[in-house]
Amino acid sequence: MSKIKFTLNGKVVFYEGDPLRRLVDVLREGFQLTGTKEGCGEGECGACSVLKNGKLVTSCIIPVGAIDGDDIVTIEGLRETPQGQCLVESFAEGGAVQCGFCIPGMVMAAQALLLVNPHPTEEDVRVAISGNICRCTGYDLIVESILLASRKGEGLW
């Protein structure tokens, strides 16, 4: 048993238990933040993507004991921000969503990109989401929606 303290969507939270529990399980089951999805459980698909200290990581392969003191942002936290709202609106407007399972991870990947590169090229976007698998859309509308967000959200990032 260990006590882990971290910031989750802007609030300081505590976790008590096995430090080898996967972050995705702590988020979904411990904190009821089910926006973060689990696809492969092996770091391959990006469905479980969150931001750790502003950087994109896959929460299915991170033990909660590795994030003491870190800042974690999930889709639930991001969507409350102007940047997150812009992304959500752009995904809707651009028709980027079919079944939706990959979308929280895609939005997190887009946010991670725009934080360091507010005016990405199409190629930049494709590279940034290259660790996120979508079984429905064929990616083009997702890429376009991220580019749309970067235009609509001018000044936000």
Partner 1 sequence: MVNTCYIPKTLEEALKIRKETGAVPLAGGTDLMVAYKRGVGITPVFPFPVMIITQLDELKGIKVEEDGTVVIGALTTSVEIAKDERVPYFVRLAASKMGAVSLRNTATIGGNIGNSSPKGDLPQPLILLDATVVLQSLDNTREMKVDDFIIKAKKNQLAEDEIIVAVRIPKPDYTYGYYRKIGTRRANAISKLTLSSIMKVENGVITDFRASSGAAGPKVARSREVEKMLIGKPIFELSSFIEEFVEAWDGVISPHAMPEFRRATTKNMLRHFLSVCADQPEPGIIE
Ligand X SMILES: Cc1cc2nc3c(=O)[nH]c(=O)nc-3n(C[C@H](O)[C@H](O)[C@H](O)COP(=O)(O)OP(=O)(O)OC[C@H]3O[C@@H](n4cnc5c(N)ncnc54)[C@H](O)[C@@H]3O)c2cc1C
* CA separation, residue 157 to residues 43, 48, 95, 122, 138 (Å): 27, 23, 22, 17, 27
**Residue 85's binding partner, choosing from partner 1, ligand X, ligand FES, none, with beta-carbon cut-off 5 to 8 A by kind?**
none
Does 107 help bind partner 1 (rule: CB under 8 A)? no
CB of 26 to partner 1, least distance (A): 10
CB 83 within 8 A of CB 108: no
CA distance 83 to 93: 15
CA distance 125 to 109: 9
Among 31, 34, 41, 44, interactor with ligand X by CB under 6 A: 44
CA distance 38 to 43: 10
Does 2 help bind partner 1 (rule: CB under 8 A)? yes
Q: Which stretch binds ligand X (CB under 6 A): 19-27, 40-48, 83-91, 140-148?
A: 40-48
Query: Residues interacting with ligand X, by CB under 6 A?
Result: 42-44, 61
Query: Residues interacting with ligand FES, by CB under 6 A?
Result: 38-41, 43-48, 58, 60, 97-103, 134-137
